[in-house]
Amino acid sequence: MTKYLRILVTVLMVVVAVFAGRWVWNDYMHSPWTRDGRIRADIVTVAPDVSGWVTNLNITNDQAVKEGDLLFSVDQQRYQAALSQSKANTENALYSWQLAKHKYERRTALLSQKAISAEDLESSRISTEIAKANYDLAVSQQTTAQLNLNRTQVRAPVSGHIINLNLRQGNYVSQGVAVFSIVRSGSFYVTGYFEEAKIPLVHLNQQAKITLLSGGKPLTGHVASIGKAIANTNTQSNSQLLPQVQQTFNWVRLSQRIPVDITLDPSNDERHLSAGMTATIHLTQ
Amino acid sequence: MLDVVVFGGLELSPLVVYFPVAFLLAALTRLALHRLDWHDRIWRVAWFEVSLFVCYLALTVYLLGGR
């Protein structure tokens, strides 16, 4: 009897260990969690719409700005001169139009006295139309010149914080070339890179617990979207747009990582978040 | 609750804590069994001890993992 009891105790322990080991395996391998998470935010790059020297820099690095705040000014002289030229052109075109109109009206009266040919009158009418078109063209050019002058004042497109400001007063900036970025306020979210084998366990609106590398109370959020595509590093197209497929002979294949975006709940306390921070994400099953 | 272990800027799996804890518990149990002289009451001591380690590991993961 004692012998059977000895065997029973050991066998029981082995059976319990099998179930416990299976639970640990499932907990690690088949539950929706990842240590490969990153804090992210909406980044808006700021580029001047006109080229020129920076005459006035109103911001410092990491400074908070509100939408519409003046960030920096580009030298206005060239754009001011262009506007004056456009205004003069507009005035010139206006007077030319008035003159052409006056001539046309006078010639219309002459036609009734048979003092002018119909062809001359038609020519005069067309000249008036050309003068009007020239005036419209001059007005649009003036509008563009005014717009360029206004765009020398570069304003914040969104509220947020300035990032990576290397711009200095006196630098030359070029049209369309970004000079720094703004991290939009309240736009922080988390992206978790989940193994493709775990994607069936991820659902929209699933609750998420996010632990930062820096520790502290975990943040909470909800799954907002699951990435629909990632790049295939195994295939490229050649010059004839035919797929060049690399031959693979690996016995071990790594599962791909699919990005899953998680929005943070508003209930989270005001903790300092920086885009790029590392996070561990657990989703409820 | 232990999700990750951060050591000098390195982020490690919490298993680096769970394994030693489970091992320590298994060793203490083994010591206690020796002191109480209960080893004779167990059939296949090695099987028993390995199974005990796995059970302790699962318990550690459950308790420290906050599940």
**Considering only alpha carbons, which residue of chain B is nearest residue A279?**
B4
The pTM for the full model equals 0.78
Q: Domains in chain A, start-ordered, CATH in brackets?
A: 32-41+187-283 (2.40.30.170), 48-177 (no CATH)
Predicted pLDDT of residue B66: 59
Q: State the pLDDT confidence band at B1, using cuts at 50, 70 and 90.
A: low
pLDDT value, residue A250: 82
ipTM > 0.90?
Answer: no
Is B55 in contact with A10 (Cβ distance < 8 A)? no
Which chain A residues contact residue B52 at CB under 8 A?
13, 17
Query: Which of A3, A16, A215 has its CB closest to that of B51?
Result: A16
pLDDT at A42: 95
Per-residue HEC secondary structure of chain A comes to CHHHHHHHHHHHHHHHHHHHHHHHHHHHHCCCEEEEEEEECCEEEECCCCCEEEEEECCCCCCEECCCCEEEEECCHHHHHHHHHHHHHHHHHHHHHHHHHHHHHHHHHHHHCCCCCHHHHHHHHHHHHHHHHHHHHHHHHHHHHHHHHHCCEEECCCCEEEECCCCCCCCEECCCCCCEEEEECCCCEEEEEEEHHHHHHCCCCCEEEEEECCCCCCEEEEEEEECCCCCCCCEEECCCCCEEECCCCCCCCCCCEEEEEEEECCCCCCCCCCCCCEEEEEECC
Q: How confident is the model at residue B2 (pLDDT cuts 50, 70, 90)?
A: low
- Which chain A residues touch B67 with a CB distance below 8 Å? 27
pLDDT of residue A7: 86
**Distance, in angstroms, between B42 CA and closest chain A CA?**
5
Residue B67: its pLDDT value, please? 57
Residue A40: the pLDDT is 95
Interface contact flag, A13 B47, Cβ < 8 Å = yes
Q: Bigger pLDDT: A285 or B12?
A: B12
Q: From chain A, pick out residues whose CB is under 8 angstroms from the CB of B54.
A: 17, 20-21, 24
Task: Scan residues 206-265 of A and list those with Cβ closer than 8 Å to B.
Answer: 211, 213, 215
Residue A247, CA distances (Å) to A225, A235, A244, A250, A255 in order: 33, 10, 9, 9, 18
Q: How far is A71 from chain B (nearest CA, A)?
A: 36
Q: Which portions of chain A are predicted below pLDDT 70?
A: 1, 269
Please tell me the predicted confidence (pLDDT) of residue A216: 81
Q: Does A29 touch chain B (CB under 8 A)?
A: no
| A9, A16, A35 ranked by CB distance to B11: nearest | A35
